[in-house]
Amino acid sequence: MIGFNYKDGVLYADNVALPALAEEYGTPLYVYSAGRLRENVDRLRSALQKALPADRQPLIAFACKANSNLAVLRLLGTMGLGSDIVSGGELDRVLTAGIPADKVVYSGVGKSDEELLAAINADILQINVESRAELERIAGLAEDCGKKTRIAFRMNPDVDAETHHKIATGRHDDKFGMTRAEIEELYVWAHEHDFLEPYGLQMHIGSQLTNMKPFREAYEKLAAFATKIKDQGLPLRNLDLGGGLGIIYKDETPPDLDAYAEIIRDIILPLGTDITLEPGRFIAGDAGLLLCRVSYIKQSEQVRHLILDAGMNDLVRPAMYDAYHEVRPVVPRAGDMVRYDVVGPVCETGDTFIRDYDLPETRKRDYLALMCAGAYGFVMASNYNTRPLPAEVLVDGDKSAIIRHRQTVRDILDLDTIPGWLTT
């Protein structure tokens, strides 16, 4: 089996029963399916292979921010994927995982000098520049290092990605990217600079897109602008189209991968450049779940609360974006459904995974799975309420392995110090 399926009334990850993982590693526990990760890459690749010639296949640079566990990155790296990073820490992660620097692109509006220097010295494929000030800083640092540095300009296409407002990134007043007028001027400046190599353009309009229309609109704008740049005799080797492909959390229409690949074929391919994609959620989202346990059942006047051992510090998406995560019983009981509010233990009303949710009768110490938590799950976890970060496990067929140990309270406390003048 691949992914998360029931067998004989028990939920499995690939061929491993979830209760066995819970007993071995404890809960809350992130569980990833290697089979599903591979399948997602294959699904995207086969759509691209159908639409685009063999020698024009895009570099798939997995958006590391979605899931940056070293084992996950290693698995994707062995499949030939590169990575889109947004920090020096992520640069370290992808290189440690064995992803070659020439498959790494670096986005983000606030890169520090140290982070930029690390990227310049690692000779990554391209740094995606988000502002004039950042370009000037890269130019200075590249010159100090004596290293000609490949940069791409992040274009803000001013399109509405038709997604949650907190994960839309391509509207004119979002903090990301630059206007075409500004890029045009800076492209010439960079071309004339001894230590910069303008390598192309990049964009990323938002996340969890299931409708292809915003992609088409944005890519048309990108292609028209790329043509303008090329017509001026400026070099343009790569068009980086960002990520954004959505997944099915609840009842969304799945993104039409063939249509997506055909949009790239029709709009981007004729420009003759290399092509880069930065999918994150699409690859990792439904390849992971958060396994947790019921700590208490609390019957209030109107509501029956299922209080889990996982909270918003472990999976913040519902609290942060009102995101929906299906809750599945790991070993469902027969009988009528019961209506619950599924909540965490954190002292916030926002620590609610879902309200008015029908589940088979559920008892204290039962295991539940919060589905589709493989992207923007563990990576967003925090120590709020001094709750240790959960562990992560990777399952591959019959095998399972811990890929991140559970943090302890001691690990957290060890970073605090009490000044001497408070101890005397």
DSSP string, 29-67: EEEEEHHHHHHHHHHHHHHHHHHS-GGGPPEEEEEGGG-
Question: Angle at Cα 122 formed by Cα 376 and Cα 223, nearest 5°?
Answer: 65
Strand partners, 111: none
Q: Does residue 214 interact with ligand PLP by CB under 6 A?
A: no
To ligand PLP, the closest distance from the beta carbon of 196 in angstroms equals 20
Count how many residues are written for the chain. 424
Cβ proximity to ligand PLP: between 103 and 387 the closer is: 103
- In the complex with ligand PLP, which residue's Cβ is closer, 208 or 362? 208
Say which of 64, 292, 347, 372 is annotated catalytic: 347
Which residues have CB under 8 Å from 151's CB, separation 6+? Answer: 126, 127, 128, 129, 135, 138, 190, 196, 197, 198, 199
- Binding string, residues 163-192; x marks residues near ligand PLP by CB under 6 A: ------------------------------
Which position among 88, 198, 280, 390 is part of the footprint of ligand PLP (CB under 6 A)? 280
Residue 277 beta carbon to ligand PLP: minimum distance, rounded to whole angstroms: 9
Tally the C-alpha atoms within 13 A of residue 36's C-alpha that lie toward its C-beta. Answer: 28
Binding segment toward ligand PLP, per CB under 6 A, in 248-256, 262-270, 273-281, 303-311: 273-281
E strands, 344-398, where?
352-360, 367-370, 391-396
User: CA 413 to CA 407: how far, in whole Å?
Assistant: 11
| Residue of 129, 139, 122, 227 lying closest to 182 (CA atoms) | 129
Q: Which stretch binds ligand PLP (CB under 6 A): 5-13, 63-71, 295-303, 347-355?
A: 63-71
Give least dist CB 212 to ligand PLP, A.
14
Q: Does 238 bind ligand PLP (CB under 6 A)?
A: no
81 binds ligand PLP (CB under 6 A): no
CB of 159 to ligand PLP, least distance (A): 15
- Total residues contacting ligand PLP by CB under 6 A comes to 17
Stretch in the footprint of ligand PLP (CB under 6 A) among 61-69, 113-121, 211-219, 288-296: 61-69
Among 115, 134, 262, 278, binds ligand PLP (CB under 6 A): 278
Contact 288, 334 (CB under 8 A): no
Among 101, 105, 97, 99, which Cα is nearest to 127's? 105
By the rule CB under 6 A, 87 interacts with ligand PLP: no
**Going by C-beta distance under 8 Å and a sequence separation of 6 or more, which residues neighbour residue 171?**
156, 158, 159, 160
Which residue's Cβ has the minimum distance to ligand PLP?
Answer: 243
Q: How far is CA 268 from CA 58, 232, 372, in A?
A: 11, 18, 31
**Of the candidates 175, 180, 205, 183, which has an alpha carbon nearest to the alpha carbon of residue 278?**
205
Annotate each residue in 94-123 with x if it binds ligand PLP (CB under 6 A) or - if it does not, as one string: -------------x----------------
Taking CB under 6 A as the binding criterion, the range among 16-24, 142-150, 223-231, 240-248 that sits at the site for ligand PLP is: 240-248
Q: Please indicate whether residue 145 is annotated as part of the active site.
A: no
Q: Does 288 bind ligand PLP (CB under 6 A)?
A: no
CA atoms within 13 A on the CB side of 22: 23
Instruction: Give the residue numbers annotated as catalytic, written as ranges.
Output: 347
Residues interacting with ligand PLP, by CB under 6 A? 63, 65-66, 84, 107, 204, 207, 242-245, 278-282, 375
